[in-house]
Amino acid sequence: MASERYKEIQALSIDELKVELAESLKKYQDLKFDHVLSGIENPLSIRVHRRDIARLKTELTQRQKHTVES
């Protein structure tokens, strides 16, 4: 069963995926930095962002492959 976040990602255009990916990477980097310096309240949020980035990259790659094949 697809997660709600995955359904949201599928609804985005390629340009929106790229913007979302850039924002997620920035947020992930900030979380890691904050965690090293002072610790964050919920360290599992780092994992959530990392997996979200993977979902975005996967969807972007699949769409790019699909456009090349078409």
Count the domains in the chain: 1
Inside any domain, residue 55: yes
Inside any domain, residue 7: no
Q: What mean pLDDT is predicted for residues 55-70?
A: 90
Inside any domain, residue 5: no
Inside any domain, residue 2: no
Inside any domain, residue 56: yes
Residue-level pLDDT at 2: 64
Residue 57: domain span: 13-69
Is the predicted pLDDT of residue 60 greater than 70, yes or no? yes
Annotate 3-65 with DSSP letters as a single string. -HHHHHHHHS-HHHHHHHHHHHHHHHHHHHHHHHHT--S-THHHHHHHHHHHHHHHHHHHHHH
Is the predicted pLDDT of residue 1 greater than 80, yes or no? no
Inside any domain, residue 19: yes
Residue-level pLDDT at 17: 95
Tens digit of pLDDT for each residue in 13-54? Answer: 999 999 999 999 999 999 999 999 998 899 999 999 999 999
Inside any domain, residue 6: no
Inside any domain, residue 20: yes
